[in-house]
């Protein structure tokens, strides 16, 4: 009986540590960077449904109407700015010294946070772009500030 108590006493802290780590990691999941491959696949679907008609299949946009998504300061720059554009839309914008006049509609009531994160991750990693992924928690944070 003493052996059982000693063994339980020795292993109890390990069990607590493991379960504590498990709970901590599940809490931290929302702050981790998304699975890039999964996000890219989902983001491509969103892009094809909502973005392709203006920004084109190659991300090249339409001169003087819709800006390109290829290596631009908007796409590769501050993620919060890019998230705000998707949420609130944009009109009459200069992108890297070129003017574009076709208004982009606000998509805040159309797309969920995860969809925005996925499509922006897709755009930031397609068309020759290489930039960090956008996490849902980042979109959620910007959305809460813009309401």
What is the distance between the alpha carbons of residues 39 and 121, in angstroms, rounded to a whole number? 7
23 pLDDT above the threshold of 60? no
Q: What percent of the chain has pLDDT over 90?
A: 72
Q: Residue holding tokens 């069990």? A: 15
Q: Considering the entire predicted model, what is its pTM?
A: 0.77
Find, among 119, 130, 113, the residue nearest to 47 by Cα.
Answer: 119
Q: Residue holding tokens 């709970």? A: 23
39 pLDDT above the threshold of 50? yes
What is the predicted pLDDT for the residue at 15?
A: 44
Question: 10 is written with which tokens?
Answer: 């020795």
Identify whether the C-beta of residue 143 lies closer than 8 Å to the C-beta of residue 113.
Answer: yes
Q: Is 7 exposed, middle or buried (0-12, 13-18, 19+ CB in 10 A)?
A: exposed
What is the predicted pLDDT for the residue at 115?
A: 98
């Amino acid at each position: 009986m003493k052996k059982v108590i000693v063994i339980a006493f020795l292993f109890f802290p390990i069990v607590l540590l493991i379960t504590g780590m498990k709970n901590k990691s599940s809490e931290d999941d929302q702050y981790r960077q998304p699975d890039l491959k999964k996000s890219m696949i989902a983001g491509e679907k969103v892009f094809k449904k909502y973005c392709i008609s203006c920004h084109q299949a190659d991300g090249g946009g339409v001169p003087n109407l819709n800006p390109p998504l290829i290596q631009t300061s908007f796409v590769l720059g501050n993620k919060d700015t890019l998230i705000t554009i998707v949420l609130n839309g944009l009109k009459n914008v200069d992108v890297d010294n070129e003017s574009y006049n076709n208004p982009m509609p606000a998509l805040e009531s159309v797309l969920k946070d995860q969809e925005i994160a996925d499509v922006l991750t897709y755009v930031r990693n397609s068309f020759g772009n290489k930039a960090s992924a956008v996490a849902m928690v980042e979109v959620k944070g910007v959305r809460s500030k813009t309401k």
